[in-house]
Structure 1
Amino acid sequence: MRNIKQRMMDIGDELIPGLPEEIALECLTRSHFTTHRVAARVSRRWHRLFLSRHFYNLRKLSGRTHKAVFAVQSLLQPVSDEAKSAAPIAFGVSAFDPATGNWTRIKPIEKYPNGLPLFCRIIGVDGKLAVIGGWDPVSYRPVEDVFVYEFAAEKWRQGKGMPEKRSFFGATEYGGEIFVAGGHDEGKNAAASAWVYNIRNDEWRELPAMSRGRDECEAVAIGSEIWVVSGYETENQGNFERTAEVYETKTGKWRRVESAWCEERSPRNVVGVGREGELFNWATAAAAAKTTAVTGEGIVGVNMEEKAIVFMGRNGVFMGECQNGKLERIELPEEFSGFVQSACYTHI
């Protein structure tokens, strides 16, 4: 923590005139994240401070960050009964604060004012949100777009696009970076390639390829390893494999794991990680908890450390103690009852 504070002191002029730097920094780290947008306008020094990764790390180490859940969720369109069947489905980013129970909507991305790319992935990393890939909501063509949301500025910025256009890939965060693997290209050929996006440097780097293509796979981080679970090769479309490929970040090598996914359905959004590092299925966990009449359709689970949020399509949204605890229904406003395609959480 001392090194982080020293970096803050090296940024420029006094943070708060008349106060020692450490005391001024201590005061600012105690501010609630909802005040950061206004605070960042006080001065150039404060602007750099509130948007810096070092300030975020200091707040996190001090236990002053705030956990929130974010979902790519369908928006309810105010249309007449005659037009309902023809109305296109549009998606936005919804935010849920587990501490207060409040729901809010993140402002639209300027490039997509009428709805996010379909099937895009949302990933939380270092107190930011990243929206990656998907299909253009008008042309239904895959896009390589990357957008990053800065909470202190309340603004989206466009990042460097993915090296390849792809859809239905696995994506997860580890070590402040986003790992992307598998999916399929514009010709619907299953991809074996994998990439890492450094959100701070706005750079992509290529990883060694997996041993085979994995379309409709899912990626999760377990310890220092990236697990790319199930999926299928081009010629086996829809026949989900039981295997996984594991990227060891310390060695830079892949290994294959048999019987990692013992399900016949897509692993997308339903692969969870238990306290002992084991994989589980959110649909199975929800059914075992006897929450409601649950089907696998539309389930999106989010491990939020000691808590879990599970979106269950038409059944609603539930919160509980990871995969083994009882899931309780969350009351939510009608405008936040839409279908969820992707979800994550992050400290902000």
Structure 2
Amino acid sequence: MSFSSMSKQQVLEVAGDEVGGGEEVMELIPGLPEEVAEKCLLHLPFLYHRLFRTVSSTWNRFLTVSPAKFPSAAAAAAAVSLSLPFLFAFAFDPASRRLQCQALDPFSRRWLLLPPVPGGAAAAGSFAVVGLPRRGEIYVIGGVEEGGDKAVRSVAVYSAARNGWEEAAGMGTPRGYMAAGEVGGRLVVAGEDGEAEVFDPEEGRWAPAAARRGAAVARYDAAAAGGKLYVTEGWAWPFERAPRGAVYDAASDSWSEMARGMREGWTGSCAVAGGRMYIVAEYGEWRLKRYDEPRDEWRMVAGSGVPPEVRRPHVVSGEVEEVGGGRRRIYVVGAGLDVAIGTVSPSPAIHGGDDERVDWEVVKGPAEFAGLAPCNAQVLYA
């Protein structure tokens, strides 16, 4: 939440609906310039915001202003750059059969247990999870009731600013086993039946989207990048036919067939980092590949595969912003919440072009997480 381009009074006016007019505005941190005080408060761990908001009414208003409410796109973009990327991992506890969510602090490398996910009894893998990194929100969408085949339309949203969950508007149609992603700041959900709908978080409501025509695409993996949602069913044994894939373009509200090279080379789980699409291959050494759109091919990233101590099942996620110097960061969360953090850096190309190299480090999960099986991971800036 960078307010470097805004005065303190402008910041408080953004949250003016919550306070009465005429209340005296106090300094955030007495004796410090506003720009310095703001940057200090921006790096308070989000999990303790409730405590810090009790310090003063001024701190309370500052910490409750969402980047989505900023009057300019530049201020919202600065909010992401000055916030910390927390990794949120969703996993099933084998003892309770309930869905848990933990957040990995990027500084301390410690896991923080978050409030229980509402309606966390849905069958594993049947629901969709979509993060809105710039808003600091995660949506858990639909799913199939545990032990049955009834799909639900419910949606729960987690806010990092509040460190809590609340119910959001339900989908127009109950859905389970769907593809979903953020496209242009909105949530796009596509069912296997070809029907789709879009959620606007500002308006808080769903609207129908163009239906996908042609043969059904059984969801294998999905990714959102460049204003589009990519859905692929991937390769499946036995290899009786080439995989199908579809692409939703938000600008034109239309579907098209996925490019041949993309769908045939999509052989793993996809993460979008710094605007680029990467997959962690399911076979061999779990090598990292990047999609080259002009060539319509997945190009191998130099460096080793995911470290072997990170075991299946695994999920992947990436930071939406570059981390400096053209670098990008990818997370692979494995069994027991062991995490491989891959930093992708530009690398001189042998034959010219835009080559990259990945270097990995591993953050071991606590012993008490040994039985947890991850089902989704998201990166939020908090």
Q: Shorter-chain-normalised TM-score: which range?
A: 0.7 to 0.9
User: What displacement does 1:66 show?
Assistant: 1.2
User: What displacement does 1:160 show?
Assistant: 0.8
Change in CA separation of 1:90 and 1:263 when aligned onto 2, cut-off 3 Å: farther
Alignment of 1:106-125 (within 5 A): 106-112=114-120, 115=121, 118-119=124-125, 120-125=127-132
**Taking structure 2 as the reference length, what is the TM-score of the superposition?**
0.70
Counterpart residue type for residue 245 of structure 1 = A
Change in CA separation of 1:286 and 1:246 when aligned onto 2, cut-off 3 Å: same
Counterpart residue type for residue 89 of structure 1 = R
Greater Cα offset, 44-53 or 148-157: 44-53
The CA deviation string for residues 151-191 of structure 1, in whole angstroms up to 9 with x for no partner, is 23222110111222222211112332222113xxxxxxx32
Aligned partner of residue 287 in structure 1, secondary structure: coil
1:301 pairs, out of 294, 316, 322, with: 316
Alignment of 1:12-161 (within 5 A): 12=19, 13-16=23-26, 27-28=37-38, 30-31=40-41, 32=44, 33-41=46-54, 49-54=62-67, 58=75, 61=78, 63-75=81-93, 77=95, 89-112=97-120, 115=121, 118-119=124-125, 120-125=127-132, 126-137=135-146, 139=148, 141-161=150-170
Is the contact made by 1:214 and 1:231 (CA closer than 8 Å) also made in structure 2?
no
Q: For residues 240 and 202 of structure 1, what CA distance do their matches in structure 2 show?
A: 41
Change in CA separation of 1:54 and 1:141 when aligned onto 2, cut-off 3 Å: same
Is there any run of 5+ residues in structure 2 with no aligned partner, and where?
Answer: 288-303, 322-327, 345-355
Q: For residues 286 and 116 of structure 2, what CA distance do their matches in structure 1 show?
A: 35
Is the contact made by 2:52 and 2:59 (CA closer than 8 Å) also made in structure 1?
yes
Is the contact made by 1:320 and 1:326 (CA closer than 8 Å) also made in structure 2?
yes
Counterpart residue type for residue 301 of structure 1 = V
Alignment of 1:131-210 (within 5 A): 131-137=140-146, 139=148, 141-182=150-191, 190-210=192-212
Change in CA separation of 1:6 and 1:224 when aligned onto 2, cut-off 3 Å: farther
Aligned partner of residue 144 in structure 2, secondary structure: coil
Is there any run of 5+ residues in structure 1 with no aligned partner, and where?
Answer: 78-87, 183-189
1:221 pairs, out of 205, 224, 249, with: 224
Is the contact made by 1:271 and 1:281 (CA closer than 8 Å) also made in structure 2?
yes
Is the contact made by 2:178 and 2:190 (CA closer than 8 Å) also made in structure 1?
yes
Is the contact made by 2:181 and 2:187 (CA closer than 8 Å) also made in structure 1?
yes
User: What displacement does 1:101 show?
Assistant: 0.7
Is the contact made by 1:224 and 1:248 (CA closer than 8 Å) also made in structure 2?
yes
Change in CA separation of 1:297 and 1:142 when aligned onto 2, cut-off 3 Å: farther
1:347 paired residue number: 381
Aligned partner of residue 271 in structure 2, secondary structure: strand
Is the contact made by 2:315 and 2:377 (CA closer than 8 Å) also made in structure 1?
yes
Q: For residues 90 and 324 of structure 1, what CA distance do their matches in structure 2 show?
A: 38
Aligned partner of residue 101 in structure 2, secondary structure: strand
The CA deviation string for residues 194-234 of structure 1, in whole angstroms up to 9 with x for no partner, is 222222332111111112332224332222222222369xx
1:185 paired residue number: none
Is the contact made by 2:310 and 2:333 (CA closer than 8 Å) also made in structure 1?
no
Q: For residues 379 and 28 of structure 2, what CA distance do their matches in structure 1 show?
A: 38
Aligned partner of residue 262 in structure 1, secondary structure: helix
User: What displacement does 1:121 show?
Assistant: 2.7
Is the contact made by 1:272 and 1:282 (CA closer than 8 Å) also made in structure 2?
no
1:257 paired residue number: 258
Q: For residues 229 and 214 of structure 1, what CA distance do their matches in structure 2 show?
A: 7
Is the contact made by 1:49 and 1:55 (CA closer than 8 Å) also made in structure 2?
no
Change in CA separation of 1:131 and 1:278 when aligned onto 2, cut-off 3 Å: closer
Aligned partner of residue 325 in structure 1, secondary structure: strand
User: What displacement does 1:41 show?
Assistant: 4.7
Aligned partner of residue 141 in structure 1, secondary structure: coil
Change in CA separation of 1:245 and 1:59 when aligned onto 2, cut-off 3 Å: closer
**Taking structure 1 as the reference length, what is the TM-score of the superposition?**
0.76
Q: For residues 271 and 44 of structure 1, what CA distance do their matches in structure 2 show?
A: 43
Counterpart residue type for residue 196 of structure 1 = V
The total of aligned residue pairs comes to: 321
Q: For residues 55 and 291 of structure 1, what CA distance do their matches in structure 2 show?
A: 35
1:331 pairs, out of 355, 364, 368, with: 364
Q: For residues 127 and 283 of structure 1, what CA distance do their matches in structure 2 show?
A: 30
User: What displacement does 1:24 show?
Assistant: 5.3
Counterpart residue type for residue 142 of structure 2 = G
Q: For residues 171 and 9 of structure 1, what CA distance do their matches in structure 2 show?
A: 35
Identity %: 20
Change in CA separation of 1:43 and 1:196 when aligned onto 2, cut-off 3 Å: farther
User: What displacement does 1:4 show?
Assistant: 8.9
Is the contact made by 2:307 and 2:340 (CA closer than 8 Å) also made in structure 1?
no
Is the contact made by 1:15 and 1:46 (CA closer than 8 Å) also made in structure 2?
no
Aligned partner of residue 37 in structure 1, secondary structure: helix
1:283 paired residue number: 282
User: What displacement does 1:129 show?
Assistant: 1.8
Counterpart residue type for residue 299 of structure 1 = H
